[in-house]
Amino acid sequence: MSAPAKKDELLSRLRGTLIVSCQAYPGEPMRDADTMRRVALAVRDGGAAGVRAQGLDDIRAIRGALDLPLIGLWKDGAEGVYITPTARHALAVREAGADVVALDATDRPRPDGRPLADSIGAVRAAGGLVMADVSTYEEGVRAAELGADLVGTTLSGYTPATYARRAAGPDLDLVERLAGALDVPVVAEGRIHTPAQAARALERGAHAVVVGTAITHPTTLTGWFAAAVAGVRG
């Protein structure tokens, strides 16, 4: 099967579906590649059409267990551009088994000083697809022009220019605006905490929806319930 045909097949498999982000943060009890593999199997059984995973060990473990489309990334650092920040990181994610490499496509400077186009080009030369994680409309348009295969609203609310949006829940206005302007699929991601919000994202034009915390992060979920109970208890 040719590369364009493989791309079309993968994007078709994801159209109108739920992708689940299976990640745990450093130091957490679930921060273990085999645990994330098991979480990925569990969400597959629940109906997820794809998985998003972080870290080379997790990507390898999940790739070996699942035949679902796999979006991979490598977080390196804790501020600025740290989601698959360089072409080196991007190629390693692809080599670990990711079908789609997710990377920070914001307008912030990259740690190696090289342009975003280098990372996109490296992944595509290696036969992979690129998901550009953006925070604004302008970044999404630019990423698509540079060759990104998908554009995700992942970072809206998490860059200095967009912090104000974080309290408002998922940025469905950005989803709709990008979906109306781009020829590449737009993926809704970021603060989607309910099934109703996920459905609404598709109604607003998203090709697919990524949900992470509300499905796969028990520490946060427990905190939501604990806070509600404490509020009643006074």
**pLDDT tens digit string along 100-133?**
999 999 999 999 999 999 999 999 999 999 999 9
**pLDDT tens digit string along 17-56?**
999 999 999 999 999 999 999 999 999 999 999 999 999 9
DSSP state of 48: -
Angle of helix 116-125 versus helix 87-96 axis, rounded to 10: 30
**pLDDT tens digit string along 161-217?**
999 999 889 999 999 999 999 999 999 999 999 999 999 999 999 999 999 999 999
Determine how many CB atoms are found less than 10 A away from the CB of residue 61.
22
Task: Tell me the average pLDDT across 218-227.
Answer: 96
Give burial (CB, 10 Å; 0-12/13-18/19+) of 12. exposed
